[in-house]
Amino acid sequence: MANKRIFRSQSAPQAKGPYSQAVTHRGLLYVSGQIPVNPATGIPVRASIEEETDITLNNLKLIVEDAGSTMDDVLKITCYLADIEDFQRFNEAYEKHFTQFPPARTTIQAAKLPLDVQIEIDAIVALPYKKPGRTRHPRKNIEENSE
């Protein structure tokens, strides 16, 4: 995949395993699952489903904005809830982040989420159009794949 590039935001919590925080390919940003982690400390935040949803979406927003896009550019989101009974409360917090152009979304219950949090969210985001010939993103967070 010659056009695959790794994206790293220094603003959001860093990946803690053998995966990329995000990957770009053909004008899209694929963001790995985000959980409610304090980006300054790297410590998971365990709170109400509303608070965990806000923190998780704010972490997603940090990555999206560092890539040069906005939350209006989010095309698809997958939400994993530890308890589907929290769906209504989750949805009330979620909708505050997507008031104008809500993305397509799938929400499912997961048996167990990392670090015992209540929510994980991944996303696919449209990147701003780049002029042909440019090899690096202006914020220099994107690296070309060496494979």
| 143 occurs within a structural domain | no
Which 8-state DSSP code applies to residue 118? S
| 118 occurs within a structural domain | yes
For the segment 131-144, what is each residue's pLDDT rounded down to a tens digit? 665 555 545 565 54
| 142 occurs within a structural domain | no
| 136 occurs within a structural domain | no
Which segments in the chain show pLDDT lower than 50?
Answer: 138, 144-147
Contact 137, 39 (CB under 8 A): no
Beta strands in the chain (DSSP E): 5-7, 22-25, 28-34, 74-81, 104-109, 119-126, 142-144
| 99 occurs within a structural domain | yes
Residue 146, pLDDT score: 39
CATH label of the domain that carries residue 82? 3.30.1330.40
Residue 130, pLDDT score: 72
Number of domains in the chain: 1
Rounded distance between C-alpha atoms, residue 21 and residue 8, angstroms = 6
| 87 occurs within a structural domain | yes
Residue 129, pLDDT score: 81
Determine the structural domain holding residue 9 and report its residue range.
Answer: 5-130
Residue 145, pLDDT score: 44
Residue 7, pLDDT score: 95
| 42 occurs within a structural domain | yes
Residue 18's SS3 state is: coil
Contact 76, 123 (CB under 8 A): yes
Which 8-state DSSP code applies to residue 133? T
Which tokens in the block code for residue 27? 């004008």
| 65 occurs within a structural domain | yes
Residue 147, pLDDT score: 38
Count other C-beta atoms under 10 Å from residue 34's C-beta: 24
- Residues 6 or more apart whose CB falls under 8 angstroms from that of 132 comprise none
